[in-house]
Amino acid sequence: MNNSEKIRNRVISLILSFLLSVFLLITSTTLVINGFILDGNGVSASLREVNYHEGAYVQIRETIGDRLIPTNLPNSIIDDAFTSDTVYNDLNDYLTQMFANDLPNFERESIAEIVNSNIDYYLDEIGLTRAEVGDAVIDDIVEMVIDNYNNFVSTSYFAYMARVSNLLRNHILLLIATGLLGILVTTAIIYSISRHLKFAAFRYYAFSFGTTALMLIIAPLTLRIWGGHHGLRIIPERTYYFIVTHIERTISTFLLVGAVFVVLYLIFIFISARLQKKVLQA
């Protein structure tokens, strides 16, 4: 092989190794987006970390309490109707259904039963019957309680995330397939070009892993150091903490994936050096 051929092969291999890093970036980034950012389990984990359900539970009770003032009914009618654990479980069920592109179940029979029972108990205490108050009036109150509960559990922000996830799902799968195909093709061509000097192929692979690691780490690390997401003006406060926490967890995930590529870079550099040493000793 003459010098011009060697130079040509090196240039082609460098271009291919850069393309390999691009395909690795596309695949890893898409997997993170699909498996964490727009994933119901990832969202649930971030909500759990900031105790979102606790704040939602308090606000649900306060809102329903305000709505009950014109009815002259006490807040005790919603006692035991739901707890913070109920809110947590129902929110998780809602997220699971939405991210699975299913119609969410808004039936709250247990809440309706407990509220009706509490109203009956209160009316009995003050010497009134349902007939005197009016079944329609009581039904409206129970419906109001359930509607307000559902409004908090089915927050529009989570519904929006689920819709985006479902809309992008086919495109995400296509990107993953494209990335994997690109990885296989470029890896095979690089190996074919450098098949007589395997250490060179491993060095080009190491270059790809290193480049991918830099692309995965630089932007998230810059965002973490800058901290611009902490300045977001979002209300209510619990939604702000959820979004900031979800961004922080996303940054950590990208940094972890980047660290994996750094390890791969070091491993392939080590393998390349060992293979080159064997060639020189031969």
pLDDT digits (tens, 9 = 90+) for 214-266: 999 998 999 888 887 777 776 677 778 888 888 888 899 999 999 999 999 99
For residues 32 and 69, state if they share a domain: no
Residue 25 three-state SS: helix
204 sits in which H/E element: helix 198-226
Task: Report the C-alpha gap between 68 and 272 in whole angstroms.
Answer: 73
Query: In the prediction, which pLDDT does 156 show?
Result: 66
Please state the domain count of the chain.
Answer: 2
For residues 56 and 126, state if they share a domain: yes
Query: In the prediction, which pLDDT does 227 show?
Result: 80
For residues 104 and 120, state if they share a domain: yes
Query: In the prediction, which pLDDT does 103 show?
Result: 66
Which residues constitute the domain of residue 181? 3-46+165-281
Residue 83 corresponds to which tokens in the numbers above? 């707890």
70 sits in which H/E element: none
Query: In the prediction, which pLDDT does 56 show?
Result: 84
Report DSSP letters for 115-142, one per residue. HHHHHHHHHHHTT--HHHH-HHHHHHHH
Instruction: Name residues of the chain where pLDDT drops below 50.
Output: none
pTM of this structure: 0.74
For residues 41 and 56, state if they share a domain: no
For residues 245 and 185, state if they share a domain: yes
For residues 20 and 80, state if they share a domain: no
Query: In the prediction, which pLDDT does 1 show?
Result: 56
**Residue where a domain terminates, one of 101, 130, 157:** 157
For residues 60 and 37, state if they share a domain: no
The helix, strand and coil proportions of the chain, stated in percent and rounded to the nearest 5, come to 85, 0, 15
For residues 215 and 265, state if they share a domain: yes
For residues 269 and 171, state if they share a domain: yes
Is residue 217 within 8 Å of 258, Cβ to Cβ? yes
Query: In the prediction, which pLDDT does 24 show?
Result: 95
Count of CB atoms situated within 10 Å of the CB of 30 = 20
For residues 9 and 107, state if they share a domain: no
**Residue where a domain terminates, one of 157, 173, 199:** 157
Q: Please, what is the Cα angle at 217 between 214 and 220, to 5 degrees?
A: 145
For residues 30 and 109, state if they share a domain: no
Query: In the prediction, which pLDDT does 2 show?
Result: 65
